[in-house]
Amino acid sequence: MSTYRQIYYQIVFSTKNRETSISEEYEQDLYKYIWGIVNNHKCKLYRINSMPDHIHIFSDLHPTICLSDYVKTIKVASSIWMKETGYFKEFTGWQEGYGAFTYSNRERDMIIDYVKNQKSHHQRETFYDEYKRLLMEHEIEFDEKYLL
């Protein structure tokens, strides 16, 4: 019997110390690289976008992969790639933690649009406020000192 799944995650994490180090000039190259990682793990990337200090990845999760390993692989491999290419001269690494938020199939298109429109969205809301709002909307308990 085959395994079927519907596991949609919006994964959000920032650069170390929220440094503005994801250059717009090469962000598409970064997205393609991360898409390759996602694809190699038999997951489907629905949307990826970033701001200079953080990234949003909306994908499904293959049932053979645990979320923490998936995110760790994306962060480690992309960090090495970003440093080796020389495209992201200010980049020193990703923050230690991440946010992962689940969504239903009914919400999929809305989240795709949300991630797609990050640039305009962040003209109205800071990353700090956005991240805090996502945690609260998903009723995730958090310690505010770790958001700074």
Do 118 and 50 touch, CB atoms closer than 8 A?
yes
pLDDT, position 115: 96
Written as six digits, the tokens of 143 are 């310690």
**Whole-number Å distance between alpha carbons of 5 and 96:** 28
Give the E-state strand segments of the chain in sequence order: 8-14, 45-51, 54-60, 99-103
Q: What is the largest CA-CA distance in the chain?
A: 49
Query: Half-sphere exposure (CA, 13 Å, Cβ side) for 50?
Result: 24
CATH topology of domain 8-118: Alpha-Beta Plaits (3.30.70)
Q: Which two tokens stand for residue 141?
A: 């308990």
pLDDT in tens, the chain (148 residues): 677 788 899 999 999 999 999 999 999 999 999 999 999 999 999 999 999 999 999 999 999 999 999 999 999 999 999 999 999 999 999 999 999 999 999 999 999 999 999 988 888 998 888 989 999 999 999 888 777 6
Spell out the domain ranges in the chain: 8-118
